[in-house]
Amino acid sequence: MATRRSKRSSTAGTVSVAETMKTQDFADFTREVGHFSMIRRLHLADAITLLNGMCGTLSVLSSLRYCLDPVDNAQSLWSAIALMPLGLFFDFMDGKVARLRRKSSLMGQELDSLADLISFGLAPAACAFCVGFRTDADLLVLGYFVLCGIARLARFNVTVANIPKDKSGKSKYFEGTPIPTTLSLVFLMAYWVHTDRVLAGIPGGVALAGTRWAVHPAVALFFASGCMMISKSLHVPKP
């Protein structure tokens, strides 16, 4: 969940110790040379984060396979849907492992946001295209949704140090909804697929059908989700 900075800062005991570790980690990372030096710098938590990114990538590819032949590849759409919650599992576990092992890295902090963008930003948008959000206006909204995810994660990386912390060093709240909350849209689309409410059967139908401005009113859910992610005033308490 794009909370790796706070998750891993708390493992060091105090903020000052965590900052010292980050500085040392950066120095070690920049000094190392060799083709596979980056791989050697990865911790177990980083590898788990990469599994999150793998789930998102496979979800997008499964969506593409479904679009090639919806009849023969019907199961691919279900695979695309199932891989996103699996990515959330790995997103949850990487922080757990980092705290248990008391090991973190600067690279892991960035990997977390990048993996989340794929699994909870791009993958849901690709799935939405599969179920029928395919008009020009739909695509603009889905593009906006993904851009909001990018902006939300970038803002988190920049501002997390300024968000109030509890005694353990954990941030007290999220600014805007965390990007994994987009899975609520994925579960909704799963219900539509299960009840065969896809393509022409999407709830709400198509507004302005037959014009260049044709749009599915239901795509407004993605617009609203994007707006909530980038909200500055919306504070979501951390569990």
Which domains does the chain carry? Answer: 4-237 (1.20.120)
pLDDT for 5: 47
Question: Does the reported pTM lie above 0.85?
Answer: no
pLDDT for 24: 58
At 37 the three-state DSSP class reads helix
pLDDT for 12: 43
Residues 6+ apart with CB under 8 A from 96: none
pLDDT for 108: 77
**Tens digit of each residue's pLDDT, the chain (239 residues):** 545 544 444 444 444 445 555 555 555 566 666 665 666 667 788 899 999 999 999 999 999 999 999 988 999 999 999 999 999 999 999 888 877 877 666 777 789 999 999 999 999 999 999 999 999 999 999 999 999 999 999 998 888 767 766 665 566 778 889 999 999 999 999 999 999 999 999 999 999 999 999 999 999 999 999 999 999 888 878 76
pLDDT for 154: 92
User: Which residue, 39, 223, 221, 211, is CA-closest to 147?
Assistant: 223
